[in-house]
Amino acid sequence: MERLMIRGLFLLCVSLFPFAVKTPKYKEMLIVFFSKGVLSILLDTYVVNTGRVKYPIRPMPKIFSTNILYDLLFFPILSIFWVRQTYHDKLPYILLKSLTWSVPMSILQWFMEKKTDLFEWKKWTILHTFASVNFTLFTIRALVGLVKIFNRNPSSEEPITLE
């Protein structure tokens, strides 16, 4: 059952990717995708190596101790959709909209931890998941904010000063 779920997740990711990056801001979305992958794999590697989470069933288990499908495809693709949802929002709306992603993801992971063998929480709880999802979402959204600042057209706006 778990292997079927992994294959289904892979197919879902492959089919969603073109829709995720198909936007006039595709360069920024690719930055989101690759940055989120790096951030997720770093955080997940730390969590696994400190014994907080274990992935008994995962893609390429002889090579990776983390679930690279989640870290390098699924979560980055979801992050693209989240960034697109919050692209023009100010901080209060970004914080509010983050709950529409982090709460369902936390609940779904809690449920899957109880009902599947895809991962085991050792020193981990639903609150850790909620915090880590929000941390990575806000980190990537902050990166997009920086990219937007550096992509401003200087001829059409006031110059950026460091005062």
User: What string of DSSP letters covers 81-96?
Assistant: HHHHHHTT--HHHHHH
Residue 45 confidence (pLDDT)? 96
148: pLDDT confidence band, cut at 50, 70 and 90? Answer: confident
Q: Look up residue 53 and give its two tokens.
A: 């989470």
- pLDDT surpassing 90 at residue 163: no
CB 71 within 8 A of CB 59: no
- Rounded distance, CA 107 to CA 113, Å? 10
The torsion angles phi and psi of 121, rounded to 5 degrees, stand at -90, 120
CB 35 within 8 A of CB 145: no
The ranges assigned to domains in the chain are 2-127+134-149
- pLDDT surpassing 80 at residue 162: no
Query: How does pLDDT run across 46-68, given as a tens digit for each residue?
Result: 999 999 999 999 999 999 999 99
Query: How many residues belong to the chain?
Result: 163
CB 68 within 8 A of CB 44: no
103: pLDDT confidence band, cut at 50, 70 and 90? Answer: very high
Residue 1 confidence (pLDDT)? 86
CB 40 within 8 A of CB 71: yes
Residue 47 confidence (pLDDT)? 96
Which residue did the predictor score with more confidence, 157 or 126? 126
Q: Whole-prediction pTM value?
A: 0.86
